[in-house]
């Protein structure tokens, strides 16, 4: 059984004091849900403080991005070694806001995926998903396939145990419109099939595929009940410890 992973993407939100308090709140609540893995993904400038706040808890530390070069003249960028130094375990790549607001392509994502998976202590959460017009034009599978094929090109299957896929339909992110459980399961099953072609069936069966897009405590149970949904990547609802805890509880209960 794949262990569900529920990760909170805090995006560009919270003051330092708020980030510390939220991290402490999540750490105290997460202690009761042993079979779900929990992560928090603060803004870069809060990663160190949040790492301190969750020390000794069962909450893992994440980062929202990483650059692929090891060091050098890349103003504003953050290397994987800097993240490792701070105790980061999970690194997001290709979040829809990076793709569609900041112009990141799957080719850029591919460099980041390699840089992250080349560090044995890091796991990569690679985000994919279609825009509304793509779903309406029946292109959901094509978009997901090309984001997987291009973003994961050249990844060694031995490293895929540290790969997590987040399926996040862009039309569901931050909109309050979540995919139905049937839409989520259909996309996740398709993604697992594509992972089997890229790696092999056993590897695909072991890779966790999170659903993301307006997950809340009130809709988490039905989404998490789907066989190929292995947890959630949560934006807005991860900014409230109680709401986030409700999602963790739903994932833990569904995958017991
Ligand atoms: C996200 O940012 O990854 C996300 C899924 O956001 P929200 O939960 O707010 O839709």
| 19-63 pLDDT, tens digit each | 999 999 999 998 887 789 999 999 999 999 999 999 999 999 999
Residue 143 CA: distances (Å) to CA of 130, 150, 194: 6, 11, 12
Confidence at 191, pLDDT banded by 50, 70, 90: very high
- Ligand 1: which of 12, 168, 231 to mutate, most ligand atoms within 8 Å of CB? 168
Report the nearest-CA residue for atom 8 of ligand 1.
235
Mean pLDDT within 225-236: 98
| The pLDDT of residue 106 | 98
Of the pLDDT bands very low, low, confident and very high (cuts 50, 70, 90), residue 8 is very high
What distance in angstroms lies between residue 245's CA and the mean position of ligand 1's atoms? 16
Q: What is the mean pLDDT of residues 65-81?
A: 98
Mean residue pLDDT of the chain comes to 97
Residue 124, H or E segment:
strand 123-128
- What's the 120 CA to ligand 1 centre distance in angstroms? 27
Q: Residue 245 to residues 39, 79, 148, 171, 219: CA-CA distances in angstroms?
A: 12, 31, 30, 24, 13
List the single range of 2-6, 148-152, 177-181, 230-234 with lowest mean pLDDT.
177-181
Active site (catalytic) residues: 95, 168
Distance 94 CA to ligand 1 centre (A): 13
Residues within a 6 A CB radius of ligand 1: 9, 168, 173-174, 212-215, 233-237
Burial 165-189 (b: 16+ CB within 10 A, else e): bbbbbbbbbeeeebbebebbbbbbe
Predicted local distance difference test score (pLDDT) of residue 92:
98
Residue entry with tokens 């998976």: 117
* Residue 1 pLDDT grade (very low, low, confident, very high; cuts 50, 70, 90): confident
For residue 235, list its beta bridge partners: none
* CA–CA dist 3, 220 (Å, integer): 16
Per-residue model confidence (pLDDT) at position 72? 98
Tokens of 247: 């999602």
Residue 156, pLDDT > 80, answer: yes
């Amino acid at each position: 059984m794949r262990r569900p992973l529920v990760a909170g993407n805090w995006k560009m939100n919270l003051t330092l004091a708020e980030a510390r308090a939220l991290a402490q709140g999540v750490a105290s609540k997460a202690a009761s849900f042993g079979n779900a893995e929990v992560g928090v993904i603060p803004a870069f400038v809060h990663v160190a403080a949040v790492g301190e706040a969750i020390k000794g808890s069962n909450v893992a530390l994440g980062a929202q991005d990483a650059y692929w070069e090891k060091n050098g003249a890349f103003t504003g960028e953050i290397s994987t070694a800097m993240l490792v130094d701070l105790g980061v375990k999970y690194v997001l790549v290709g979040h829809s806001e990076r793709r569609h607001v900041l112009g990141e392509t799957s080719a850029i994502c591919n460099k980041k995926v390699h840089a992250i998976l080349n560090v044995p202590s890091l796991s990569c959460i690679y985000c994919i998903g279609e825009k509304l017009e793509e779903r309406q034009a029946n292109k959901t599978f094509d978009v997901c396939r090309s984001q997987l094929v291009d973003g994961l090109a050249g990844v060694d299957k031995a490293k895929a145990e540290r790969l997590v896929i987040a399926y996040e339909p862009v039309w569901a992110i931050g909109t309050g419109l979540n995919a139905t459980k049937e839409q989520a399961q259909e996309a996740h099953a398709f993604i697992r099939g594509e992972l089997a072609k890229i790696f092999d069936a056993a590897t695909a069966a072991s890779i966790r595929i999170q659903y993301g897009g307006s997950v809340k405590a009130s809709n988490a149970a039905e989404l998490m009940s789907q066989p190929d949904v292995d947890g959630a990547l949560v934006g807005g609802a991860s900014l409230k410890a109680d709401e986030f805890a409700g999602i963790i509880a739903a994932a833990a209960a569904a995958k017991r």
